[in-house]
Chains A and B, each alone.
Chain A
Amino acid sequence: MPIIELNNLTKKYPLPGNKSESFLAVAGISLRIEAGEIYGILGPNGAGKTTTLEMLEGLNDIDGGTATIDGIDVQTNPYKIKELIGVQLQANEYFDNLSLVELLSLFGALYGRSIDPDELLGKVNLREKAKAKPGNLSGGQKQRFSIACALVNSPKVLFLDEPTTGLDPQAKRNLWDLVLQLNRSGMTIVLTTHNMEEAESLCHRIAIMDHGKIVAEGTPQNLIMQHAPEPPQAPLHGNIEDVFLALTGHELRE
């Protein structure tokens, strides 16, 4: 049963150079994400990935179409949705001068829950950093802490926006393990990424977005079968990066 359903979801933005005209940042996308899935959204910069997530998270108004999470309409019940979801944003800065434990209990309080910060930090392998300030964490630790913050309300759906961007390979693998572990406990995870290897090895299904539209959707294997160039062009075997480039072209974005 799908836990997230998008029907013809649309977002309009004014054109950067010409404010009187607008363009579609998200041009009517429809998606079904099953409960318990790890679902990846791929796309070049400016494809509309973050905007799509922000509409689901309530951060951005929906200009057309509908979105439901767990059967609840996103636009009409923003506060019910907030209780259901956990969010890790691209910017992951927090208040200075508060320790990880203090920040986690603050987030707990925002959901009206008293939580055990130590247990949450244990989940993301940061227990020994309990007294540290976020400013003193490494990139990987910061991302894991962001995920800990997103878990305070035991969400049904976890949104991760480019969780591994800028991480070294060790930190990246470590984060994948964390995502898999959370997913095994039954959590639905929706993530955006530029990392093809991540999409291929972590996600059950992938949507590739470009120019606000979904240009392909399916399991990594199916996408490779359908879209990767034939063997002569790709000497060994195709991967998701080949699929991605075949679908979105080689032109540089932003």
Chain B
Amino acid sequence: MLTKLQLHLTRVFLLIFLRDRQSIFFSLFFPVIFMTVFGFINNGEQDAVKIGIVNKSNSSAATNFIELLHGNPLFAVTEGTEAVLRSALITGDQTLVLVLPVSFDESSEGTELRLLVDAAQVQQLGLIIPVLEQTLISIEREFRNIAPMFSLAIEDVQARSQRYIDFLLPGLMAFTLMQLSIAGSGFNIVEYRRKGILKRLFVTPIKPKDFITAIVLARMLIILIQLTVLIAFAVFLLDVTIVGSFASFYLLVMLGTFIFLCLGFCLGSIAKTQQAVMAVGNIVIFPQIFLSGIFYPIESMPALMQPIAKILPLSFVSTGMREIANNGASLLEITPSLIGIAVWFVIAFVLATRLFVWKEVAH
């Protein structure tokens, strides 16, 4: 149970943190920018491929073919002379130029269509050519009056369409909570020491336990509010869906925050200057940005890295949060993540209490 002093101190730290408008603003600003950019860039559809058509044939087959291409969302079609389109291709205004020869008509047989490309520009060539071929085949079938032998009936079983932003949000939340927690304990401790505030507190009868409890509680509350703002932004403005239970999601947020606050206390105890805490902090933060499956799944990393990546604290937190948010997993279903989190919880707590020696930290 909390003592009167711990409550008073928690309230004081809440006031201190809340009145620091600037850092609250920036802590929200960057994740919001991030989410907005990824929310818009990855709206599911790809940009249409700009294709120029040089139609040298007057046949209805050619007009038919061009119409089919017009109807395909994959292409943005421009018609013109070869000379104009060729220079447009060179300047990059066209991605491909397709030349329909004079002999392109209903009676064509083995007619060759020239496709002009700037191979350096077109990474999706392998994707585009089959589509072009497919279009040609369907025209051919039409004229030869052949029914296709097979057709694909595509049935989407995934009820929710998942965009990159849906994948990103839980990881980004995990990353944000790590940043805020480490800065919120570690950087604060170093700052208070530099100003002599810890020394001043030390000469009063305050117990380190009360001091730490208050910072942890106040920080956790602030971080929960910050994340709630970010999640609300994502859900209401970017239309991100969180499938699983919010309660489980927030439980993971709180556990993660506790782990990283403890690690922050460790950093603040080891590093004596603001520069040192930044440097040591980056050693902890940076690898986790890239290895913890925040921006892309851990499974897509080189096999050699995966075992290391998987045991990082942020990996457990972000994987657990993603399972809940994207797949609606229950706490039982994310037991592996929870075990990892529990282990890190104990490690971080023990380390923090060992390293945070009140008298030494105060000096």
Contact = CB atoms under 8 A, between A and B. Distances in A.
A87 interface: yes
A98 B204 contact: no
B201 A89 contact: no
A206 interface: no
Interface in B190-222: 192, 195-197, 199-206
Interface string B349-363: 000000000010011
B144 interface: no
Interface in A76-94: 79, 82-83, 85, 87, 89-94
B197 A95 contact: yes
Contact of B204 (A91, A97, A111): A111
A242 B80 CA distance: 102
A208 B20 CA distance: 45
Given A59-B199, A102-B15, A111-B205, A97 B20 contact: yes
Given A98-B12, A106-B8, A106-B12, A87 B205 contact: no
Nearest to B211: A110
Nearest to A82: B205
A215 interface: no
Contacts of A90: 196
Contacts of B363: 59
A109 B202 CA distance: 14
A77 B250 CA distance: 43
Interface in B107-133: none
A93 B12 contact: no
Which residue among B195, B205, B363 has the maximum number of chain A CB atoms within 10 Å of its CB? B205
A61 B4 CA distance: 30
B203 A97 contact: no
Interface residues of A, number: 28
Contacts of B362: 59
A58 B205 CA distance: 11
A59 B203 contact: yes
Contacts of B201: 110
Given A59-B199, A59-B363, A91-B195, A96 B205 contact: no
B37 to A, nearest CB: 32
Interface in A121-157: 149, 153
B16 interface: yes
A91 B201 CA distance: 12
B321 interface: no
B9 interface: yes
Contacts of A107: 204
A5 interface: no
B243 interface: no
Interface string A185-209: 0000000000000000000000000
B196 A89 contact: yes
A83 B204 CA distance: 7
B203 A102 contact: no
Contacts of A98: 12, 15-16, 19
Interface in B285-327: none
Nearest to B188: A95
A109 B8 contact: yes
B203 A109 contact: no
Given A59-B203, A82-B203, A109-B8, A97 B19 contact: yes
A94 B15 contact: no
Given A93-B195, A94-B197, A109 B5 contact: yes
A164 B15 CA distance: 31
Contact of A97 (B9, B16, B197, B359): B16
A197 B38 CA distance: 68
A97 B199 contact: no
B20 A59 contact: no
A58 B12 contact: no
A57 interface: yes
Contact of B205 (A57, A79, A93, A102): A79
Contact of A58 (B8, B195, B203): B203
A156 to B, nearest CB: 15
A169 interface: no
A7 B66 CA distance: 103
A112 interface: yes
Given A97-B19, A102-B12, A110 B205 contact: yes
A57 B204 contact: no
A82 B204 contact: yes
Contacts of A58: 202-203
Interface in A7-25: none
Given A91-B200, A98-B16, A109-B4, 10 more contacts: A82-B203, A89-B196, A91-B195, A93-B197, A95-B197, A96-B16, A96-B19, A109-B9, A112-B4, A149-B200
Interface of B: 4-5, 8-9, 12, 15-16, 19-20, 192, 195-197, 199-206, 359, 362-363
22 contacts: A79-B205, A85-B203, A87-B203, A89-B199, A89-B200, A89-B203, A91-B196, A91-B199, A91-B200, A92-B196, A93-B195, A94-B195, A94-B200, A98-B12, A98-B15, A106-B8, A109-B4, A110-B204, A111-B204, A111-B205, A112-B205, A149-B200
Closest 4 CB pairs of A and B: A91-B196, A97-B19, A93-B195, A110-B204
